[in-house]
Amino acid sequence: MAYGIRLSDEISFIESLQIEDKVSGGLIDFKLWEFQKELIAFIDANDRAFILKARQLGITWVVLAHALYLATFWGNRQFLICSQTGDDAIAALHRLRIMHASMPARWRRAKLKDNTEQIAFDNGSRIEAMMATTRAGRGKAPYLTIADEVEFWDDAALKLETLQPGAQRMVGITTGNGPDGPTPKIWRASQEGKGRWHSAFCPWSVHPDRDEAWYQANVLEAAEPRLAHREFAATPEEAFAAPQGIFFERFDPAVNSPRAFAAVHNWETWRAVDFGFHWPACLWLQISPKGQVFVVGELARREVYNWSTQQFADEILRVDAEFGLFDPPRGTYCDPAGTGVQSQTGESEVEVFKLKGLAPITERSSIRDGCVRIMDALVDPDLPLQVSRSCVWLCEALSAVTPDSRKPEVYDEKSTYTHVLDALRYFFVNQAVGQQEWPDIYYGDGLGPLSQF
């Protein structure tokens, strides 16, 4: 926590301030909502805090108030605000002036400098604001750097790399703008416990004045519902949806991926594999007694490079063992291209899988056929496809992959999501899942309440 800050003291300070009210145009007391108090604690606790958010939640006001608090009570500190444009940087200083002027006189520091670029106080602390550039932050050693709407910066990854070395603490704030920028990478790494960043997501619903009626009017009935879903995201996947549109528009996280669930020990289980060149992918799918498909596990991520087929097979077997199934998976639906003999090894990927006991099954089909079957499974009115929230890569792929620019009837075949979606496609083109008779069986432990399905 920064300088041993007491959260209660910081909250009391912030709630002594006033901010602009966009409805009345006047000033109102800064009464923090509960999620904003939690956000302050999150920022205090982490020297790299990344906040993914829906729009219009007052988060920029909160982060600026945090910087003002530190600048008021700790001297000789530099604070840097980097914004998407010069106008945004000027607006940030304007907000700080409003809060500074409203604070109790006993705390208010005299300003030694106040212009369009910075506000400097008599205790030696200063807050500078600027447009994010590749030179922003060079030659500076800020105690805190605020990266506002970072996903919308030009060359955002390069600019972040420029800012990070000199900053003792950083707060990144952004709404989403597609799946391939730097902030989705920050988000994924932090969710896996990798790197310095810690992340938090603030959905539209944390605003206390928003309810289902508000959501209906502002999102579901918006002129562009697809864009409204991204701007007022309910999940990180919605926030990172591509601005040009997504392919699986009918994928609904609330319906198709409502929670994380484990494998049931005695359900019929299958694997589905795309060998891939850089990013091989394997999914584990189970079929319930009613015939509903559940994706219970994945081995798929961007960071896996150049596994040999042998290594990939060994990893699949390792994950198999972790499920603790009564019976092993019945087989592995594979990419038909895996039957080709590799020049270096003299054997095909399918042959390697056979030798490893993975029972590969290949069947040629069109990409379009597989896409249609996935779409049908997603919108099945009685038994919709269920994807565990633990399958992060597949959830993100279904939420974010775009149509192919040349063949919009299929998903983007150059996307890094292709391999995990191809694996799902191989399952559906090979497996005719429907209603069938099943004996009464024991449903196993650790799955949670599946009766709803």
For every residue of 378-428, DSSP letters joined together read HT-SSS--EE-TT-HHHHHHHHHPPBPSS-TTSB-TTSTTHHHHHHHHHHH
Ranges 2-6, 87-91, 239-243, 333-337, most confident: 87-91
**Predicted confidence (pLDDT) at residue 233 exceeds the cutoff of 80:** yes
List, for residues 237-261, the tens digit of each pLDDT value: 888 877 666 788 888 888 999 999 9
Instruction: Please answer whether residues 436 and 280 qualify as being in contact, where contact means their C-beta atoms are separated by less than 8 angstroms.
Output: no
Nearest to 59 by CA among 51, 69, 68: 51
List, for residues 312-333, the tens digit of each pLDDT value: 999 999 999 999 898 999 999 9
Query: 268-274 and 198-202: which strand pairing?
Result: unpaired
- Residue 337: predicted pLDDT: 77
pLDDT band of 227, cuts 50, 70, 90: confident
**Predicted confidence (pLDDT) at residue 111 exceeds the cutoff of 60:** yes
Domains of the chain, start order: 2-226 (3.40.50.300), 256-430 (3.30.420.280)
- Residue 134: predicted pLDDT: 75
- Residue 304: predicted pLDDT: 57
Question: How far, rounded to the nearest angstrom, does the alpha carbon of residue 72 sit from its chain's CA centroid?
Answer: 34
Average pLDDT over residues 139-157: 88
**Predicted confidence (pLDDT) at residue 270 exceeds the cutoff of 70:** yes
**Predicted confidence (pLDDT) at residue 449 exceeds the cutoff of 90:** no
**Predicted confidence (pLDDT) at residue 53 exceeds the cutoff of 60:** yes
List, for residues 361-415, the tens digit of each pLDDT value: 987 778 888 888 999 999 899 999 999 999 989 998 998 888 887 888 888 888 8
**Predicted confidence (pLDDT) at residue 448 exceeds the cutoff of 50:** no
Given the structure tokens 């500074």, which residue do they identify? 100
- Residue 414: predicted pLDDT: 84
**Predicted confidence (pLDDT) at residue 28 exceeds the cutoff of 80:** yes
- Residue 67: predicted pLDDT: 96
Q: In which element (H, E) is residue 157 found?
A: helix 156-163
Higher pLDDT, 62 or 430: 62
Starting at the earlier edge strand, list the strands of the sheet with 144-148.
111-114, 118-121, 126-131, 78-83, 144-148, 169-174, 48-53, 198-202
Supply the mean pLDDT for the chain.
86
Starting at the earlier edge strand, list the strands of the sheet with 332-334.
360-362, 332-334, 268-274, 281-287, 293-299, 386-387
**Predicted confidence (pLDDT) at residue 186 exceeds the cutoff of 60:** yes
- Residue 165: predicted pLDDT: 84
- The least confident of 27-31, 83-87, 199-203, 295-299 is 83-87
Residue type at position 250 = R
- Residue 346: predicted pLDDT: 53
Q: Is the pTM of this model over 0.75?
A: no
- Residue 36: predicted pLDDT: 96
Q: What is the CA angle 205-207-208, rounded to 5?
A: 105
List, for residues 192-215, the tens digit of each pLDDT value: 888 899 999 999 999 999 999 999
The pair of structure tokens assigned to 302 is 């961007």
The pair of structure tokens assigned to 85 is 């444009």
List, for residues 9-21, the tens digit of each pLDDT value: 999 999 999 999 8
- Residue 427: predicted pLDDT: 94
Average pLDDT over residues 99-105: 96
Q: What is the CA angle 191-196-197, rounded to 5?
A: 50
Q: How many CB atoms lie within 10 A of CB 318?
A: 10
Q: How far apart are CA 37 and CA 14, in angstroms?
A: 10
- Residue 339: predicted pLDDT: 66
pLDDT band of 104, cuts 50, 70, 90: very high
- The least confident of 348-357, 381-390, 440-449 is 440-449
Query: In the chain, what percentage of residues exceed pLDDT 90?
Result: 52
- Residue 437: predicted pLDDT: 35
List, for residues 157-178, the tens digit of each pLDDT value: 888 888 888 889 999 999 988 7
Higher pLDDT, 102 or 152: 102
